[in-house]
Amino acid sequence: MKRGYADTPQGQIHYMTAGEGEPLFLLHKTGSSRQYWKLMPLLAKRYRTFAPDNLGSGNSDPLPPNVEVADLARSMVHFMDFLRIKKAHIFGFHTGNKIATEMAAAWPSRVDRLILCGHTHSIMAEHEALNAALKAQVGPSIRKFESEPDGSHLVKQWAAEFGHVANMWWETTNFAREKLTPELFQQRRERVIEQLQIRDVAEVYRAIFAFDLGARMRRIKARTLIIEVATPQEEHLGRQGERLVKLVPGSRLATVEHSAGGTVVEVEAEEMARLILDFLQG
């Protein structure tokens, strides 16, 4: 696996790449391309695979001011230009599925086959329902405190962000299901590093909340696979995949039942790779 930096008008984009063949881009959820450490080698057996860090994440440059999802999508198109790639398959997970959707809607000639993946709360067709479900997930991590003359709000902000990082490190709800291994500790370290490298997580989510996923999906012309990651914790939301495939003519749906905890593109990497490869080669 190789690493590199691409110069774009919005700033430098850090990326990892492996394999040969048709280009396949892996767009990550809020965090960084480290999430694909296990999935990428499986896909690289068949494809020239790229995993870039979004602007404001990982080792890429900071976010542009007043960023929108369209800006992040445009930066990925410029990333393709740097690599001299005219057209690529795109896989997007959570935040990545919004960026991938916008790429397919606004730059259809640059997207070959499209794969949109996410837990139920991340792939809801109705804008208000999606935002409500997403805020229930990420609300504590993006809380902002009212400014105080004595600066005490900064202490509160510091404590809240420290508490969020500490919870990511310990993640005690999964201790009963996860075997404590050197690999697990390494994953925890990298997850904390990812969080600390995000320049402004609240600004990222502000852009996501403003993005109407369902409306933009109606503009997609690419052959599309939607992967819904279903968990027991989100049964109350109801399955959303059937609603989404109606927005994109000819699209297909796959469902991954995920109850093991952890990040699905890591824990279920083999199953995810099978779904992606079957779709791309079908």
**Mean pLDDT on 159-187:** 72
Tokens 């403003």 correspond to 210
Q: Which domain holds residue 240?
A: 2-138+211-281
Average pLDDT value for residue range 100-129: 97
pLDDT for the residue 146 = 87
Spatial strand order of the sheet with 2-8 comes to 2-8, 11-18, 48-52, 23-27, 88-93, 111-119, 223-230, 252-257
Average pLDDT, the chain: 92
Inside any domain, residue 198? no
- Residue 195 belongs to some domain of the structure: no
pLDDT at site 111 = 98
Sign of the CA dihedral with 78 first, then 111, 97, and 246 last: positive
Place of tokens 């791309």: 280
Position 7 scores a pLDDT of: 97
Q: Coil, helix or strand for 271? A: helix
> Based on the structure, what is the number of domains in the chain?
1
Q: What is the pLDDT of residues 45-88, one digit of tens each?
A: 999 999 999 999 999 999 999 999 999 999 999 999 999 999 99
Q: What is the mean pLDDT of residues 121-129?
A: 94
Confidence of residue 166 (pLDDT cuts 50, 70, 90): confident
Would you give the DSSP letter of residue 9?
Answer: T
pLDDT for position 145: 83
* 88 vs 190, residue with greater confidence: 88
> Taking the CB of residue 202, how many other CB atoms lie within 10 A of it?
12
Count of CB atoms situated within 10 Å of the CB of 87? 16
Residue 43 lies in a domain: yes
Report if residue 187 sits inside a domain: no
Instruction: Look up residue 235 and give its two tokens.
Output: 């049964």
Q: What is the mean pLDDT of residues 256-271?
A: 90
- Which of 127 and 162 is assigned the larger pLDDT? 127
d(CA 160, CA 179): 28
Is residue 127 scored above 90 in pLDDT? yes
Determine the pLDDT at residue 161. Answer: 80
In the prediction, which pLDDT does 236 show?
94
Q: Record the tokens describing residue 237, joined without a space.
A: 């939301």
145 located within any domain:
no
Share of the chain above pLDDT 70, in %: 97
Provide the 3-class DSSP secondary structure of residue 180: coil
* Averaged pLDDT, 226-232: 96
Residues 6+ apart with CB under 8 A from 80: 25, 86, 88, 110
- This prediction has a pTM of 0.91
Residue 66 domain-assigned?
yes
> Is 54 domain-assigned?
yes
**Phi, psi (deg, nearest 5) at residue 14:** -85, 145
The reported pLDDT for the residue numbered 178 is: 62
- Residue 172 in domain: no
CATH number at residue 59: 3.40.50.1820
pLDDT of amino acid 173: 54
Task: Look at residue 169 in the predicted model and tell me its pLDDT.
Answer: 78
174: pLDDT strictly greater than 60: no
Q: Which of 183-187, 247-251, 268-272 has the lowest mean pLDDT?
A: 183-187
95 touches 204 (CB < 8 A): yes
